A = this chain, B = another copy of it.
Amino acid sequence: MNELRHLLQEIRNQKPLVHHITNQVTMNFLANGILASGGSPMMAHHYEEAEEAVMAADALVLNIGTIDPSLVKAMVIAGKKAKQLGVPVILDPVGAGLSRLRKDAVQELVEQVSPDVISGNAAEIAFLMKGEWGGKGVDGDLSGNHEELALHAAAKFGSVIAITGERDAVSDGKERITITGGHEILSYVTGTGCFSTSLIGLFLAKSLETSLSACQRAAGALSMLGICAERAQAVSAGPGSFQTALLDELFRLKPEDLKTAGRWSLGGIQGGK
């Protein structure tokens, strides 16, 4: 997919600014991951500067991992400004089902901001679908239906949905892409899920010119992470050295290494579900 390689080259040339209002646990890793991948990270979380920060940004990532009411306020202000300016907004509804605070935050962000992409694990996306996703349990029979879940959630929310897990699924309600690859060790490093979302932000940066759809750009980001994770795992002795090697591999990946052959399965085209 030459167009995807071109996109990564553009990223490396332009260093798009990916602004984050995100959680305290993983923000250092996200900043280092975006730098290593070729972008410029920014973190600023107070609502008084929310609009000004977005005005400098090429993408806006909202992550509710350590949310509080003041952060929700900043996210709504930043998100609305981003939509006005055509800056793509990517939402990671971390632990959406944990509390009323998170549930309300996600609902407010979805309604007020209408994110371009919502990216999370299957449990989080299924939680957002509650009511319309029937009696199917979150950890139960959903496991085999990430593609189905992404498709339905995309239709419901009018956003691209990216579901990360052993196998990633991306859909915009019509197009469907399944991405294989990566490695189980990713689940032993905190922030790799958050970083998927940040990397999608980088691939969707406003300043990049490409003929790819938002769905394909998000899938490109997940492919890059999967390839780099496999390479990092090959030289690691555990999750500590894996995290270090992952940053090295993100930095070292050449556009021509961004192969999707054998990794992408396209819904309706190559017989995806």
Question: Looking at the complex, which one of B46, B67, B191 makes contact with A46 (CB distance below 8 Å)?
Answer: B67
- Contact-size category for A: 35 or more
Whether, in the assembled complex, A146 has its beta carbon less than 8 Å from a beta carbon of chain B, the answer is: no
B98 touches A69 (CB 8 A): no
Give every chain B residue within 8 A of A95 (Cβ-Cβ).
Answer: 42, 44
CB<8 Å pairs between A and B, sample of 24: A23-B43, A24-B27, A25-B31, A28-B190, A28-B191, A32-B239, A35-B187, A35-B239, A36-B188, A36-B238, A42-B95, A44-B66, A44-B95, A46-B66, A46-B68, A48-B99, A49-B101, A236-B248, A238-B251, A239-B251, A240-B243, A241-B248, A243-B247, A244-B244
B248 touches A239 (CB 8 A): yes
A102 touches B249 (CB 8 A): no
A15 CB to closest chain B CB (Å) equals 10
Tell me the dominant secondary structure on chain A's binding face. Answer: helix
A residues with CB within 8 A of B: 23-29, 31-32, 35-36, 41-46, 48-49, 52-53, 56, 65-69, 95, 98-102, 187-191, 236-241, 243-252
Closest residue to A253 on the B side, CB-wise?
A: B238
| This protein's copies in its complex | 3
B238 touches A248 (CB 8 A): yes
Give every chain B residue within 8 A of A49 (Cβ-Cβ).
Answer: 98-102
B248 touches A36 (CB 8 A): no
Q: CA separation between A212 and B29, bound complex, in Å? A: 37
Give every chain B residue within 8 A of A23 (Cβ-Cβ).
Answer: 43
Question: Looking at the complex, which one of B56, B99, B102, B238 makes contact with A98 (CB distance below 8 Å)?
Answer: B56
A252 touches B240 (CB 8 A): no
Q: Which 6 A-B pairs have CB atoms at the shortest separation, nearest pair first?
A: A238-B248, A240-B247, A49-B99, A31-B190, A240-B244, A52-B99
Additional A-B contact list (10), CB under 8 Å, known A35-B187, A49-B98, A240-B251 = A28-B190, A36-B188, A36-B239, A46-B66, A46-B67, A48-B68, A56-B98, A237-B248, A237-B252, A238-B252
The winner among A28, A101, A240, A246 for most chain B CB atoms within 10 A is A240
Q: CA separation between A247 and B29, bound complex, in Å? A: 15
Give every chain B residue within 8 A of A102 (Cβ-Cβ).
Answer: 49
Closest residue to A47 on the B side, CB-wise?
A: B68
B239 touches A48 (CB 8 A): no
> Known: A27-B24, A66-B43, A99-B53. Is A245-B241 also a contact (CB below 8 A)?
yes
Q: CA separation between A241 and B23, bound complex, in Å? A: 24
A241 touches B244 (CB 8 A): yes
